[in-house]
Amino acid sequence: MDAYLAQIPLTQVISTWGIGSPSVDLAVPPEVVAASDLTNGIFANAAVTDRNGAPIGEVILWVEHGRLSGVEYAWYTDERPQSLPEPAQIVVL
């Protein structure tokens, strides 16, 4: 976990997953130490709730070759969110 936290200040958003999408692809510079060369796929996910605590989506943190590679916001509502949820709405699973 600490290796991924150390990557955050140097991570850059390189693209979005479509116009208006809050989901993004990330790039970590190659000189930053990878958490593990074997780590690929979902690193963590978290539930997103509305003000009443009802589930409205989830945030998924993707990694590739031990480096942060994407943040996906999957929503369960009819309308696509325009931004990532507020931290208070996120419950790490």
**Residue-range domain boundaries for the chain:** 2-92
pLDDT digits (tens, 9 = 90+) for 36-83: 867 788 888 999 999 899 999 999 999 999 999 999 999 999 988 989
**How far is the C-alpha of 16 from the C-alpha of 24, rounded, in Å?**
4
- The pLDDT score that the predictor gives to residue 27 is 97
**How far is the C-alpha of 73 from the C-alpha of 25, rounded, in Å?**
12
Closest CA to 83 of 41, 48, 45: 48
Closest CA to 58 of 20, 25, 27, 84: 84
- The pLDDT score that the predictor gives to residue 91 is 92
- The pLDDT score that the predictor gives to residue 10 is 95
